[in-house]
Amino acid sequence: MRGEGEAYLLVLFALEKLDLHRTTAVAPQYPSLVLDFNFDNTMSSWGLDMTNSNQDTTLTRYTCANIFTKINSSKWITTTSIISNSDSIKCVAGGNNAININY
């Protein structure tokens, strides 16, 4: 039980749907895509092994509601060449939260 004047922390979660669309050929020596998610000083990562059969992929994950989630995608072409993109989405609890990411 909390005492008088103590704050409560209420965290709402939301489902976030990421539609991933590969727009270039798979680089055989580096067939992976890395996604980094950042919100409220919290970071997580997710990786995808690219194949010729997964040109379009959907990832559904939980994120915090009512704040922006920054999404960084990184795709290696060679050891020194990386294609990186950033985007963000503000998800709401119970909403249709979807974003398209082309890589």
56 belongs to a structural domain: yes
Q: What is the CATH number of the domain that holds 50?
A: 2.60.40
Residue 1 pLDDT more than 60? Answer: no
Q: What is the mean pLDDT of residues 39-52?
A: 89
1 belongs to a structural domain: no
Side-chain half-sphere exposure of 81, counting CA atoms within 13 A = 5
pLDDT for 86 equals: 96
Which tokens hold the place of 82?
A: 């990386």
What lies within 8 Å, CB to CB, of 71 at 6+ separation is 18, 35, 36, 37, 86, 87, 88, 89, 99, 101
Q: How many domains does the chain have?
A: 1
4 belongs to a structural domain: no
**Residue 75 contacts residue 21 (beta carbons within 8 Å):** no
Q: Which domain holds residue 66?
A: 14-102
**Rounded CA separation 99/2 (Å):** 39
Q: What is the mean pLDDT of residues 19-30?
A: 90
87 belongs to a structural domain: yes
Q: What is the pLDDT of residues 65-96, one digit of tens each?
A: 999 999 999 998 888 889 999 999 999 998 99
32 belongs to a structural domain: yes
pLDDT for 36 equals: 96
